[in-house]
Structure 1
């Protein structure tokens, strides 16, 4: 299992704060494959998660979409952070 978290505007727009996904039953090995899987939930999911500006962290570290994921990981999606 992996835990998938959504933060900020993504959480509000998707109306979802967290999901648990069983990797043993799905052929998901990378963040990019996870995004493709989650995109099957609907057009809004696809639009928001596939944006280049959407940031992804695995186990509290920002990663590229080609990064590997494994059982026990925590993957978080969040909008770009701005300061001011």
Structure 2
């Protein structure tokens, strides 16, 4: 399947791009992270601590075990703070 993958804030800085269109065999968001980490050091640094990240599939906040069946977009970002 092909996914649009978006990176926000410091993830974008570590990876070096704001978005990618990727061909993936990942079944879950966690599987996608494993594929991304294998792409290189910037990805490994960005995904080194999943407790400091959030993930959304098709613009709905979810967990790192969420299914990617039928998904078109995955976004990774740090937790948001308000004020």
Measured against the shorter chain, the TM-score band is 0.7 to 0.9
Gaps of 5+ in 2: none
1:7: Cα distance to partner? 0.8
Question: Per-residue CA shift, 1:11-65, capped at 9, x if unaligned?
Answer: 1222111111123xxx311000000000012233123224211110001111111
Q: Report the aligned-residue RMSD.
A: 1.5
Greater shift, 27-36 or 64-73, is seen at: 64-73
- Rate the CA distance shift 1:65–1:50 in 2: closer, same or farther, 3 A: farther
Q: Which residue of 2 aligns with 1:54?
A: 53
Would you identify which runs of 4 or more consecutive aligned residues in structure 1 move more than 6 Å?
A: none
Query: 1:38 maps to which residue?
Result: 36
TM-score, normalised by the number of residues in structure 2: 0.85
Structure 1: 5+ residue stretches without partners: none
Q: How many residues align?
A: 81
Is contact 2:58–2:71 with CA below 8 Å preserved after alignment? no
